[in-house]
Chain A
Amino acid sequence: MALLEVSDLKTQFTTRDGVVRAVDGVSFALEEGHTLAIVGESGSGKSVTALSIMRLIPDPPGKIAAGKVVLRGESVLDMSDADVRAMRGDRIAMIFQDPMTSLNPVFRVGFQIGEALRIHKGMSRKEADARAVEMLDLVGIPNAPHRAKDYPHQFSGGMRQRAMIAMALACDPDILIADEPTTALDVTIQAQILELMIELQQRKGTAIIMITHDLGVVADMADDVMVMYAGKQVEYGSADAVFYSPQHPYTWGLLDSLPRHDIDEKGTLLPIEGQPPSLIDVPPGCAFHPRCPYAQAVCRETCPELREIEPGHMAACHFAGTDSLVRGRVATAEGEVR
């Protein structure tokens, strides 16, 4: 049994304009100590997936409409509020995109790190403070005993994200969810933070769900990759499978944008032509068809199911695994050479 199993998760927001299907049937499994990367364009439902696992979807307007989230055999969606709180920060911890705003400006950094320890581990203020210093030291903050007494505004962006990591790992969680942890940082700092996460993962055996725009990050640390498009999972498999035999045209688009370091040195995703669809009026058929260069009549009419193309490698495309698409793929590759 996997550490975390998510099946057919559907999360919706009721807005004035209609129901936003932010996450629409997502399934994946996370093994102990493994790293799952979730990639996809802005608005594809990555954060909502993560927040749903933590049961942090604001209700109203949000609601987890269907699906299962099972942590070590225990259904997270059926937990009492008290059990969910006991889980948050202790068994599953989360760090967020913007370290500048994710720490509370009016509390000392050490105090904020120690908070989870006091709730979950029953530590006294003193013990928690001491442990917070250890954690800051662990994430590479120099002069930690002194720095623990600082306020967030006295930390640089990179240091704040280190502090966030220290906070998240303080209780030794089974899973760390990192929602674009490096997007808001300088390129050099990004690499340092990722290195730190990889190092700590090796040391502590924490499983990581890494939400990112950066396919370089995926290549460096992910065991498995899930590609999301318009709230749906369009491809899912081992990192090797997704990188070396991608099946979905959207994944191709993502990968094609990868090597162009001359254009965008960060190696972040370059936009694929066209706009992602509104999540309220999802077009009939495949959500990607308006932007897909290989779209056929069937793509406009029926929504492709997520199918297993090869063992452990799934894709939601009518033509995944068939010759017609392989040919199309070769054609684009040649087009690029030209």
Chain B
Amino acid sequence: MFKYVMRRILQMIPVFLGVTLILFVLRIPGLLPGDPIQLIVGEKTLTPALRAQIEEKNHLNEPAYVQYGYYVSNLLQGDLGESYQKSRSVTSILADKFPNTIRLAVAAILVEIVVGLLAGIISAVKQYSFWDVLVTLSTSILVSVPVFWLGMLLQMLFGIKLKQWTGGALFLPITGMGTPPDIAHLILPAVTLASVSTAYVARIMRSQMLEALGQDYIRTAMAKGLTERAVVFKHALKNAMIPVVTFIGIDLGALMGGAILTESVFSWPGVGREIYLAVLQRDWPVVMGGVVIVVLIVMVVNLLVDISYALLDPRIRYGGAAE
């Protein structure tokens, strides 16, 4: 198991370097619109002397690979550079926003797991019942609804149409949000962010559960005299969970992408919204720093998911069949 984890950590290194390389290439002047030096200077007039000075300071006159070396070595020391716009370090900007994104992501994952798993289990165990039809129908609708549209719809419904009932602004992060934001403000963005994933989790759970319930070992368990509940929640569920956990893990990346949209729609003050605003302003250090952080998180979470996957499935833990 230890070896497995070490191997996985070593595998992360080239992936991470690859991502930084792509980000670095994207920053090369001329590739994307906007002149970074002009952006740094802002309103001041850019004299050739000033330009040379800034180039010198940021190693922009060195060959590309040397620049990349500087970039990676700074990165490893936790230095993400300085914002073009805010004359603050990217690290401190992101550190401010980071806890809010974590709050949102954790809330969304909780929704995804609790609602998705329960819906999937119920609709499998009570196949073709009213609940099964309801789950199947609502998941088909949810997977085809764009996140930002659902977000706006929910805001309109709970924030405006049901104002008297919900206390209006309470649910809308736009107004009256403290620091850190109250839990109530979290509900709509979390549900929005989780919606598509929850629908997928419910569907995968349902099909996996149905498949597991049809296996021979279920009959063996029944023949032993186990209760139906033990058979479903122990013997079937543990098998059915394996692909679901994998999906949730793989989906975390998509969730992070969704966070950028959701945070923008709800003006949720997180890393996603910060990246979005930085893209609009061509504030490349913030964009790059934000993306690097998000990539790192996704990689670490995927590692944790793979470990839990191995804990669930002995065939992986012990590296294949021993026959």
Interface residues, chain A, CB within 8 Å of chain B? 54, 56, 85-90, 93-94, 96, 98, 101-108, 115-116, 119-120, 151, 153-156, 164, 167
Contact = CB atoms under 8 A, between A and B. Distances in A.
Nearest to B237: A106
Contact of A88 (B222, B312, B322): B222
Q: Which of B215, B242, B323 has the most CB of A within 10 A?
A: B323
Contacts of A106: 238-239, 242, 312-314
Contacts of A164: 220
Given A102-B216, A156-B323, A56 B239 contact: no
B149 interface: no
B238 A88 contact: no
14 contacts: A56-B222, A87-B225, A93-B224, A94-B223, A101-B215, A102-B216, A104-B235, A104-B238, A104-B239, A105-B314, A106-B312, A119-B226, A156-B323, A167-B220
A103 B215 CA distance: 10
A54 B222 CA distance: 10
A102 B217 contact: yes
B225 A85 contact: yes
B321 interface: yes
B86 interface: no
Interface string B273-297: 0000000000000000000000000
Contacts of B239: 104-106
Interface string B206-224: 0000000001110111111
Residue of B217, B221, B223, B318 with highest tally of chain A CB at under 10 A:
B223
A103 B222 contact: no
B323 A96 contact: no
B216 A154 contact: no
B227 interface: yes
> Considering the complex of A and B, which 9 residue pairs feature the smallest CB-CB distances, nearest first?
A89-B225, A88-B225, A89-B224, A151-B314, A101-B216, A104-B217, A94-B223, A154-B322, A116-B224
B217 A103 contact: yes
B141 to A, nearest CB: 30
B224 A119 contact: yes
Contact of A89 (B223, B313, B318): B223
B315 interface: yes
Given A106-B314, A151-B315, A154-B322, A56 B219 contact: yes
A138 B148 CA distance: 64
B237 to A, nearest CB: 10
A85 B227 contact: yes
Contacts of B221: 104, 115
Interface residues of B, number: 24
Contacts of A103: 217, 220
Contacts of A96: 216, 219-220
B318 A151 contact: yes
Interface of B: 215-217, 219-227, 235, 238-239, 242, 312-315, 318, 321-323
A54 B315 contact: no
Contacts of B318: 151, 153-154
Contacts of B220: 96, 102-104, 164, 167
Nearest to B218: A104
B217 A120 contact: no
B238 A86 contact: no
A56 B321 contact: no
A154 B321 CA distance: 6
A104 B321 CA distance: 15
A86, A88, A115: most-surrounded residue (chain B CB, <10 A): A115
Given A88-B225, A93-B224, 15 more contacts: A88-B224, A94-B223, A96-B216, A96-B219, A102-B219, A102-B220, A105-B217, A106-B238, A106-B242, A108-B314, A153-B314, A154-B318, A154-B321, A154-B322, A167-B224
B244 to A, nearest CB: 13
Contacts of A90: 225
A154 B220 CA distance: 19
B208 to A, nearest CB: 13
Contacts of A54: 223
A168 B312 CA distance: 26
Contacts of B216: 96, 98, 101-102
A164 B220 CA distance: 9
Given A151-B318, A153-B321, A153-B322, A116 B225 contact: yes
Contacts of A87: 225
A301 B85 CA distance: 97
Nearest to B242: A106
A96 B322 CA distance: 23
B248 to A, nearest CB: 18
A42 B16 CA distance: 58
B225 A119 contact: yes
Contacts of A153: 314-315, 318, 321-323
Given A105-B239, A106-B238, A56 B223 contact: yes
Contacts of B314: 105-106, 108, 151, 153
A249 to B, nearest CB: 35
A21 B318 CA distance: 46
A189 B323 CA distance: 15
A293 to B, nearest CB: 38
B65 to A, nearest CB: 48
A123 to B, nearest CB: 14
Contacts of A93: 223-224
Nearest to A150: B322
A112 B220 CA distance: 10
A112 to B, nearest CB: 8
A54 B224 CA distance: 10
Contacts of A119: 224-226
Nearest to B317: A151
